[in-house]
Amino acid sequence: MDKSLPDLAAAVAGIEDGMSVMIGGFGGSGAPIELIHALIGRFLATGHPRDLTVVNNNSGNGHVGLAAMIEHGMVAKLICSFPRSADPVVFTEQYLAGRIALELVPQGTLAERIRAGGAGIPAFYTPTSYGTDLAAGKPVAEFEGRHYVQERWLKADYALVKAETGDRLGNLTYRMAARNFGPLMCMAARKAIVQVARIVDPGGIDPEAVVTPGIFVQGVVEVADPAQEEALNRAGAAYPGAAA
């Protein structure tokens, strides 16, 4: 078994119009910039994929990564908890112009819905958002005198995730707080495609240190020296553009 993919173009080749795509990262940490840019590259060359539903904690920053995806008009709907950033102009303009739909989900509920999707739990109850506008229309229930909101699982056709080390079986480790949504999105997507700083042979990761077991991963592609969204933005980069 060898889940390694030859290049970024191959890694994103299966994503089609109208699909749902979970994209890892909290702000810039864990954002799979190279996978996203490969997808934008395909869109600019072919007009596809478009009308995507994207799941991410945020809505992009500046003009690279997810923000660039939104800027180029590939995203029909965003499911996220915090569509703000240091430079949120791309999402803000499209949202206020009605060109992108937003499903706002509390951050912990977003994480748990994605985990539930991966774990075969179609619905669960959480105290989060009870009595607020974000619970409007959702079933509620009382357990031991306290009120809870019923939330549904969240799955996706694809996940694009950034990890640190991956073996050919798809076992992954992450780097510090870049872990965030990666392990959950790998579980919840039909196909999880992961860019890693290095691919190693099976046995190259301590079995105790595996964070995402390979069963949750369908493809790994090596990006040896991945870009950091924060660094790109501080350099004023845009994609496509000279600086990225």
Partner 1 sequence: MTSPLTTNQIAWRAAQDIEDGAYVNLGIGLPVRVAQFQPPGREAIFHSENGILGFGAAPAPGDEDWDLINASKKSVTLKPGTAFFDHADSFAMVRGGHLDVAILGAYQVAENGDLANWSTGPRGVPAVGGAMDLVHGARRVAVITDHLTRKGEPKLVHRCTFPLTGLGCINRVYTSHAVVDIEDGRFVLREKLADLSLEALQAITGARLHIPGPVGELTAPEV
Of the candidate spans 15-23, 34-42, 65-73, 92-100, the one that interacts with partner 1 by CB under 8 A turns out to be 92-100
User: How far is Cα 151 from Cα 121, in angstroms, rounded to an integer?
Assistant: 10
Looking at residues 56 to 75 of the shown chain, list those that interact with partner 1 (rule: CB under 8 A): 57
Q: Given CA atoms 196, 201, 206, 210 in this order, what sign does their dihedral have?
A: positive
Indicate which of partner 1, a second copy, none lies near residue 187 (CB less than 5 to 8 Å, by partner kind).
partner 1
- Match 């499903």 to its residue by tokens: 103
**Smaller CB distance to partner 1: residue 53 or 85?**
85
Q: Which of 122, 162, 135 is nearest to 27 (CA)?
A: 162
**Smaller CB distance to partner 1: residue 45 or 96?**
96
125 binds partner 1 per the rule CB under 8 A: no
**Smaller CB distance to a second copy: residue 99 or 198?**
198
Q: Which residues contact a second copy by CB under 8 A? A: 112, 116, 119-127, 141, 143-144, 146, 148, 152, 173-176, 206-209, 211
Residue partners of 220: CB distance under 8 A and separation at least 6: 3, 4, 5, 163, 166, 168, 170, 172, 193, 194, 195, 196, 199
Indicate which single residue of 41, 72, 130, 238 sits in contact with partner 1 (rule: CB under 8 A).
130
CB contact at 8 A, 156 and 180: no
